[in-house]
Structure 1
Amino acid sequence: MFMEYDPATYSRILTGVTLGFHIIFATLGVGVPLMIALAEWTGMRKNDPHYTLLARRWARGFVVTVAVGVVTGTAIGLQLSLLWPNFMQVAGQTIALPLFLEVFAFFFEAIFLGIYLYTWDRFKSKLKHFLLIIPVIIGASFSAFFITSLNAFMNAPQGFELVDGVIQNIRPLEAMFNPATPTKTAHVIITCYLTAAFVLAMIAAYKLLKGDRNVYHKKALHLTMVSAFIFAIATALIGDFSGKYLAEYQPEKLAAGEWHFETETEAPLVLGGVLNEEGEVEYALEIPYALSILSYGYPGAEVTGLDQFAPEDTPPLIVHYFFDGMIAIGMYLMFISFLYVAFRKFKPAWQYNRWLLWGIVAGGPLSLLAIEFGWMFAEIGRQPWILYGIMRTPEGATTADHVDSMLYMFIGLYTVLGVSASLVLRKMFRNNPVAHELERRGMDKGE
């Protein structure tokens, strides 16, 4: 027996389910093209066919994720109009530019992806084929940029005037390049690269653990883990800028994420813990001065607490766990990738240690989980606003009936899509294993 909610609540749940499912494929859709390009470039530079084969096989799997991402991305576009008509009535004209540019960027990516896939071995110059993947990277990354700038606008709305509920004096570029855009878009794009690197590294590490020790998987592991280490460092740096943005522009979101209840200087960073009946934090790890440093760059800074805001204007305190989970996984990914790089440099015999390989395997699903945590923190942490400081979430939602029926229908659709994509990818690579392809191409497996 399903619980009964109002249309606004069902709209929030359906949008959350759609975003949660779509973001997996969208993340891989942004990150994998860069990894394909790195593999093909390395193969061309070193005249190493193993890296070229990596690019070929990754590109085949990439097409499946793109297909599912297109379907779920279309669903999000439809749901914006169907589930959030009042929001679109107020903000739709202002955010039309990034929505249009996102579609254009996707078309740009799709056209060159088709040409790239069907022109292997058709150019005498390998460089010409490699150049075709560059527009795919640009299209995928700019697609992420434009759609994330829309989310940034929801957190820092500007570029219009609202007079008696009527939107006037629209300035699309100002709306798109709002104060939240730099940190939010940079964080989303770099985490897409990091996640794609770890998902591909997970596959290589798992194959090595299962005894398939040919040089192809070793080279795949090396390329992905070195890339992951670089992306993990960049993620941490951009995450620091994101924390400083929140401290200045959305202090209640940062305070809720850190369970920072009282405004104070030398504020500690609270990790984990639970709230007792009196609303006090128990069983948490506190890092002295860390929240002040994260917020303003020095330990004596005063950090605004939740005591400065009305309870109805603060996010749910559950966002603390999403925030902590995202940061903890990010640190784990940096640590594992650092271990691999350090072992390869100073202890080559340890780079294929079983514990390290299992750690890399765990990094694949954990990186996807961090993406989910990040978006949950971003969206739930903005509540109760759909348009920060201007429109509350229930005000932007539809009042129509049967949103619950749509929810169940889309859950069924996403289940079918998820299972189908998994089966197709599994069958695609199981029926054409690396060993057979290496043999067919006359390449040495290596041990």
Structure 2
Amino acid sequence: MLFEDPVIASRFLTLLTLSFHIIYATIGVGVPLMIMIAQWIGIRKNDEHYILMARRWAKGFVVTVAVGVVTGTAIGLQLSLLWPNFMELAGQIIALPLFVEVFAFFFEAIFLGIYLYTWDRFEDQRKHFLLLIPVALGAGMSAFVITIVNSFMNAPQGFDIVNEQLVNVNPIVAMFNPAMPTKVAHVLATAYMTVAFMLAAIAAYNLIKGSNHVYHKKALYLTMKVGLIFALAAALIGDLSGKYLAEYQPEKLAAAEWHFETAEGAPLLMYGALNENNEVKNAIKIPYALSILAFGDPTAEVIGLNEFPAEETPPLIVHYYFDLMVTIGVFMIVISLIFWIGIKRGWTFIKARWYRWLIVLGGPLSFLAIEAGWWMAEVGRQPWILNGIMTVEEAATSNKHVGLMSILFLLLYIVLGIGTIVVLRRIFKDNPVEKELEPLQDGDNTWH
């Protein structure tokens, strides 16, 4: 059977766990910021709708945090069990951010608990708002330090290997590697963007289903605006990421773009298919765009994939992950930009059912873009687990029972996923906005 190979089974289980955990991790990073923004606006404008947004979002957030703890713990265990040789080496170098991540999580969880249990305990809501600052900082710090570990895997430094012995270890140099700035910035920006569009999708869905409450209109306006800001930020950081790849991991960039021959003024390829001779068919070619993405110069030379040994060439499927990520990102920028301009110009079609369905679609699509981005990052580093130093096969366990573990964890994630949906539906279905707030007079001015 396929899973009898422990390397393949280990890769599958890691992929499964990371793909499931990234959903909860993204929510865990993005929701605290959205709660902060909503509560701050509510305090500043003395608007009970925004205060209620913060309160309701916080209720749902607790559920996802609980599941995120389970999946995060699973990742920690799997790193040691599935990739022991990697942890034996990397653990001596990059253990510091892993320790800081635990501290950041407890920092976040403690203040989140205090925040949740002190609603209505403060006469001055600004004091209650202050409790959100360490929650958001803890969430952001968790993403920061974990992404540093992934950055180290892509650009390892801060150590030497002499006679197969690890020497001259410097954890600080290892943490602040060349991949760190763009990876951390991209992870944070896309997390905030995705959560904003997720909350926008919920608001739009409620409006479609007939709830014309001003609360949902305000929620939609706020989340679409925040989503647009971070979608544009993610696009800018993505451009910087392309320039990092061109300098430090040119084989990943070449694989993502199916760029086989070194050439000047290289076009960027979107979509298409490869034949048996690795010839690209039916792709959309954007002239000079790959050279611009790589070096900011339309005439720059971009190294082709044929320059690298075949055994070090990343899987060409990463091209589709790149296409998916970029397509969804552009779609969300367009949808949110039109929405924002439409509010200012009074375009009525942005209130139409069909347009709100596009916004609803943007919620799951944004999470799919997050997944595609991580698949590209991880698959694009193949065959290396530690770029240029240790391959995946060298790092993996030799245990023959990983396949069984994969099945058990798959069942666990199905239960956790379904359980999350059921609990969240019960929480909000039994406590609709109309039940928590007296209906207010509706009008166009309630969009602002």
Q: Report the TM-score range of the alignment, normalised by the length of the smaller protein.
A: over 0.9
Tell me the CA shift for residue 171 of structure 1.
0.3
Give yes or no for contact 1:269–1:291 (8 Å, CA) kept in 2: yes
Pair 1:266-2:265 in alignment: yes
Give yes or no for contact 2:6–2:400 (8 Å, CA) kept in 1: yes
Matched residue, 1:248 = 247
Matched residue, 1:343 = 342
Tell me the CA shift for residue 9 of structure 1.
1.0
Aligned AA (1:41): W
Aligned AA (1:249): Y
* TM-score (norm: length of structure 1): 0.98
For 1:165 and 1:410, the matched residues in 2 are separated by: 35
For 2:142 and 2:411, the matched residues in 1 are separated by: 27
Give yes or no for contact 1:90–1:166 (8 Å, CA) kept in 2: no
Describe the superposition over 1:261-293 as per-residue Cα deviations: whole angstroms up to 9, x where unpaired: 000000000000001122100010000000000
List aligned pairs for 1:165-314, cutoff 5 A: 165-314=164-313
Matched residue, 1:127 = 126
Give yes or no for contact 1:90–1:165 (8 Å, CA) kept in 2: no
Tell me the CA shift for residue 445 of structure 1.
6.0
Matched residue, 2:440 = 444
CA RMSD of aligned residues (A): 1.0
* TM-score (norm: length of structure 2): 0.98
For 1:168 and 1:79, the matched residues in 2 are separated by: 26
Describe the superposition over 1:220-253 as per-residue Cα deviations: whole angstroms up to 9, x where unpaired: 0000001011111101110000000000000000
Describe the superposition over 1:312-369 as per-residue Cα deviations: whole angstroms up to 9, x where unpaired: 1010000000011001101111011101100001125333122221111010000000
- Counting matched residue pairs gives 443
For 2:165 and 2:403, the matched residues in 1 are separated by: 30
List aligned pairs for 1:329-340, cutoff 5 A: 329-340=328-339
Q: Could you list the runs of 4 or more consecutive aligned residues of structure 1 that deviate by over 6 angstroms after TM superposition? A: none
Aligned AA (2:418): V
Matched residue, 1:377 = 376
1:94 aligns to what SS in structure 2? helix
Aligned AA (2:319): H
From the superposition, tell whether residues 323 and 5 of structure 1 become closer, same or farther in structure 2 (CA, over 3 Å): farther
For 2:410 and 2:301, the matched residues in 1 are separated by: 45
Aligned AA (1:145): F
From the superposition, tell whether residues 175 and 407 of structure 1 become closer, same or farther in structure 2 (CA, over 3 Å): same
1:59 aligns to what SS in structure 2? helix
Give yes or no for contact 2:108–2:137 (8 Å, CA) kept in 1: yes
Give yes or no for contact 2:4–2:400 (8 Å, CA) kept in 1: no
Aligned AA (2:220): L
Tell me the CA shift for residue 164 of structure 1.
2.7
Give yes or no for contact 1:153–1:175 (8 Å, CA) kept in 2: yes
Tell me the CA shift for residue 4 of structure 1.
4.0
Describe the superposition over 1:404-428 as per-residue Cα deviations: whole angstroms up to 9, x where unpaired: 1111110011011101111000111
Give yes or no for contact 1:344–1:350 (8 Å, CA) kept in 2: no
Give yes or no for contact 2:3–2:9 (8 Å, CA) kept in 1: no
Matched residue, 1:138 = 137
Q: Which runs of 5+ in 2 are unaligned?
A: 444-448
Aligned AA (1:241): L
Give yes or no for contact 1:32–1:196 (8 Å, CA) kept in 2: yes
Matched residue, 1:148 = 147
Aligned AA (1:88): M
Describe the superposition over 1:48-77 as per-residue Cα deviations: whole angstroms up to 9, x where unpaired: 000000000000000011111010000000
2:281 aligns to what SS in structure 1? strand
Give yes or no for contact 2:255–2:319 (8 Å, CA) kept in 1: yes
Matched residue, 2:401 = 402
Give yes or no for contact 1:438–1:445 (8 Å, CA) kept in 2: no
Q: Which runs of 5+ in 1 are unaligned?
A: none
For 1:278 and 1:233, the matched residues in 2 are separated by: 37
Larger displacement relative to structure 2 (274-283 or 361-370): 274-283
Give yes or no for contact 2:3–2:402 (8 Å, CA) kept in 1: no
The sequence identity of aligned pairs, in percent, is: 64
For 1:116 and 1:279, the matched residues in 2 are separated by: 56
For 2:233 and 2:370, the matched residues in 1 are separated by: 15
For 2:114 and 2:90, the matched residues in 1 are separated by: 37
For 1:445 and 1:7, the matched residues in 2 are separated by: 62
For 1:394 and 1:166, the matched residues in 2 are separated by: 20
Describe the superposition over 1:87-135 as per-residue Cα deviations: whole angstroms up to 9, x where unpaired: 0111111110010011111111001100110111111111100111111
From the superposition, tell whether residues 272 and 82 of structure 1 become closer, same or farther in structure 2 (CA, over 3 Å): same
For 2:208 and 2:428, the matched residues in 1 are separated by: 18
For 1:230 and 1:4, the matched residues in 2 are separated by: 43
